[in-house]
């Protein structure tokens, strides 16, 4: 039984090895086609990677001259970030401004008396107002903390409450507005008004408001010229060269008070013109009558000298218009007034200038402007609807900024409408002037150039690898990972002899070495510290640096960006014919060079489509060969199976005859 075998399954003749050896010969065409498929796929991957490198470089090049180029980025630098911060957009104008933050904006923040820790707030409808916003809370009653939590859920971005542990058994309720500005006063109504009074958050106001009637304007320091000062309809008009004062009957203590008024500065275009004199008035001479005959005397004809109009008045612009008059009658100059058209509201914290105020002086030192004043009043800004906070932590007020001598007010500490493209962040008040400089973002421009050079060098390395077969090319590139080095080793010289690769490489080098026009004359990239450095530290030339790679001298680039920023910008994109369209420069030239290669339906896309077709054909060929090989192997197995079966029968017959012969003996 040891010689028992099943044809096609076991074989003592080792037919399986015979079949396998025969199939190896049959598989040679398939192996050849598979190797060709792998080579085509490798070539396709190389083209795709090259396309990716070209696209990356093109995108970086376009960013250096397009509308979104980093040369248009702006930064804001403050000489004192603790007082004034700022951010700038691309629309900002390069300039330097001087600011004085006289007052930051704030919101009302009131606290209660110390309340027992078990203080209960009754049920009711609690109404809180902030400016024109209203928060209504229907509260079922409970502890201070429960009430604060309920108000915080309802208050959103308008009002907020907090409970502070003053001692182990007392609490303080803090209610605050979340909206800055003097117009956003915190008010209480309904059950909230009673709670605020009972808890000592507010107390009845004193009614400190006092109005200055403009109709009672009189002498300031110089002579009063009634012809140049007109008070009508609640508005006071002061002509060029005139001055006047509006005063209280007695001095008013200034503690906690502000003076508020509205002012308009009207530009007349020209100074008031002096009219010619009318000349002397000569009475009639009369006549004589005799017997119905009247003879009139000849009229007198005084010889008046010819009138010569005065020379035009030189224009004088003086924004120092308003003066605070203290209790002693001394005039204290207030900040310069914004002379742009339109009515403007001005708020003056009079305690910052004097202990008591007697009135307001108006002096029009302008020759071509007329001043209008109205709604002048002095009041306690903390009073609202007849109440004032008992112990305010902070009170609602506007920010007051002086920019280049012009004082402006805003309701928020974030000011974005004062300088185009610049957002100011007012952080604290200070008498010290702060310089704010809007400058180009040179660091962003530098990063853009570095990114361009990096992408250019990666593309140049790719072109060198696929166009040359020397392994020294890989050893010169020290930033490749182990996987990348192995991949690129397979691609060495893959496109050697391809004229398109050579032309692309030469064109790239020419673009980076060309001379480009700027407003300051022709420039080359090496002027800005970007060049191909072929020298060795020990002297002579380094052959590896002759392959077109670029290097950056950062100190030279920094200096160029500092001293010749516009030249650097224009070297990458320049409107040579002044038609508002960039038509030259490194970025423009690189974009134009790579466009036909990487665009949809371009050169590389066409090549990869051809390779895709080849890959599809190769796969179909391999599938056909696989079927043929499978059929061939099946046929060999069948034939060798039949052969083994026949041999087995013959061997069995032989043994039977041998046994028969032995039995016959």
Q: In sequence order, what DSSP letters do the residues of 117-178 get, joined into one string?
A: TT-EEPPEEEEEEETTEEEEEEE--EEHHHHHHHHHHHHTTTEEEEEEEEETTEEEEEEEES
In sequence order, which residues have a C-beta less than 8 Å from that of residue 373 and are 6 or more positions away? 214, 235, 236, 238, 246, 261, 262, 263, 360, 362
pLDDT number for residue 505: 92
CA 576, CA 523: separation in Å to the nearest integer?
14
Tell me: the pLDDT tens digits for 382-434? 888 788 899 899 999 899 898 998 888 899 999 999 999 999 999 999 989 99
In sequence order, which residues have a C-beta less than 8 Å from that of residue 290 and are 6 or more positions away? none
CA 511, CA 79: separation in Å to the nearest integer?
42
pLDDT number for residue 664: 53
CB atoms within 10 A of CB 349: 16
Helix (H) or strand (E) holding 559: helix 554-563
Q: Cα dist. 57→109, 456, 474, 507, 602 in Å?
A: 56, 6, 21, 14, 16
CA 603 to chain centre: 38
Rg (CA), the chain: 48
Helix (H) or strand (E) holding 466: helix 442-467
Tell me: the pLDDT tens digits for 131-169? 999 999 999 999 999 999 999 999 999 999 999 999 999
- Mean pLDDT score across all residues of the chain: 88
pLDDT number for residue 665: 52
Helices 565-572 and 442-467 pack at an angle, to 10 degrees, of 40
Q: CA dihedral defined by 377, 379, 384, 389, rounded to 10 degrees?
A: 170
Percent of the chain with pLDDT over 90: 57
pLDDT number for residue 535: 47
pLDDT number for residue 306: 73
**pLDDT beneath 70, residues of the chain:** 1-13, 271-282, 284-285, 300-304, 533-546, 662-665
């Amino acid at each position: 039984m040891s010689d028992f075998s099943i044809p096609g399954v076991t074989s003592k003749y080792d037919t399986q090895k015979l079949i396998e050896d025969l199939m190896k010969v049959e598989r040679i065409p398939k192996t050849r086609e598979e190797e060709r498929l792998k080579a085509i796929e490798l070539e396709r991957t190389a083209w795709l990677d090259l396309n990716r490198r070209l696209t990356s470089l093109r995108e970086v090049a376009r960013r250096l001259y397009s509308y979104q180029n980093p040369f248009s980025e702006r930064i804001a630098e403050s000489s004192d970030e603790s007082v004034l911060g700022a951010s700038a957009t691309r629309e900002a104008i390069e300039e330097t401004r001087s600011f004085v933050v006289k007052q930051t904006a704030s919101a009302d923040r009131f606290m209660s008396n110390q309340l027992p820790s078990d203080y209960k707030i009754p049920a009711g409808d609690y109404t809180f107002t902030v400016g024109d916003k209203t928060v209504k809370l229907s509260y079922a009653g409970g502890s201070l903390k429960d009430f604060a939590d309920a108000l915080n859920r309802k208050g959103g971005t308008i009002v907020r409450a907090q409970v502070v542990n003053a001692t182990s058994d007392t609490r303080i309720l803090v209610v605050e507005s979340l909206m800055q500005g003097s117009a956003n006063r915190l008010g209480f109504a309904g059950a909230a008004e009673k709670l605020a009074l009972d808890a000592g958050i507010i107390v009845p106001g004193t009614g400190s408001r006092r109005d200055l009637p403009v109709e009672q304007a009189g002498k300031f320091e110089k002579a009063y010229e009634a012809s140049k000062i007109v008070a009508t309809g609640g508005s006071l008009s002061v002509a060029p060269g005139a001055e006047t004062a509006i005063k209280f009957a007695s001095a008013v203590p200034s503690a906690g008070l502000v003076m508020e008024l509205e002012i308009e500065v009207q530009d007349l275009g020209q100074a008031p013109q002096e009219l010619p004199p009318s000349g002397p008035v000569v009475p009639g001479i009369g006549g004589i009558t005799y017997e119905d005959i009247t003879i009139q005397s000849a009229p007198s004809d005084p010889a008046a000298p010819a009138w010569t109009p005065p020379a035009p008045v030189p224009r004088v612009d003086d924004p120092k218009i308003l003066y605070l008059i203290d209790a002693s009658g001394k005039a204290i100059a207030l900040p310069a007034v914004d002379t742009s058209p339109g009515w403007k509201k001005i708020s003056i914290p009079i305690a910052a200038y004097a202990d008591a105020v007697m009135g307001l002086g108006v002096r029009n030192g302008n020759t071509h402007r007329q001043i209008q004043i109205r709604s002048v009043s002095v009041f306690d800004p903390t009073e609202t609807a007849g109440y004032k906070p008992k112990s305010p932590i902070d009170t609602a007020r506007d920010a007051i900024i002086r920019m280049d001598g012009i004082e402006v007010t805003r309701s928020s500490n974030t000011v974005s409408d004062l300088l185009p493209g610049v957002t100011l962040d007012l952080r604290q008040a200070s008498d010290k002037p702060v310089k704010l400089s809007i400058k180009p973002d040179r660091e962003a421009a530098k990063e853009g150039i570095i990114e361009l050079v990096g992408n250019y060098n990666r593309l140049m390395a790719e072109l060198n690898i696929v166009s040359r077969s020397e392994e020294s090319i890989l050893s010169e590139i020290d930033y490749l990972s182990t996987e990348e080095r192995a991949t690129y080793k397979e691609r060495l010289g893959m496109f050697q002899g391809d004229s398109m690769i050579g032309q692309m490489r030469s064109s790239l080098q020419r673009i980076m070495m060309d001379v480009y026009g700027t407003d300051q004359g022709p420039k080359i990239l090496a002027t800005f510290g970007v060049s191909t450095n072929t020298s060795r530290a020990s002297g002579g030339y380094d052959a590896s640096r002759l392959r077109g790679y670029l290097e950056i001298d950062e100190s030279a680039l920094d200096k160029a960006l500092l001293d010749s920023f516009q030249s650097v910008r224009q070297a990458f994109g320049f409107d040579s014919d002044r038609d508002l369209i960039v038509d030259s420069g490194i970025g423009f030239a690189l974009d134009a060079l790579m466009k036909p290669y990487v665009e949809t339906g371009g050169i590389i896309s066409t090549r990869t489509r051809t390779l895709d077709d080849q890959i599809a054909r190769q796969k179909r060929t391999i599938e056909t060969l696989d079927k043929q090989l499978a059929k061939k192997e099946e046929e060999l197995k069948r034939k060798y199976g039949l052969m083994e079966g026949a041999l087995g029968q013959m061997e069995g017959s032989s043994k039977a005859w041998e046994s028969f012969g032995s039995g016959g003996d």
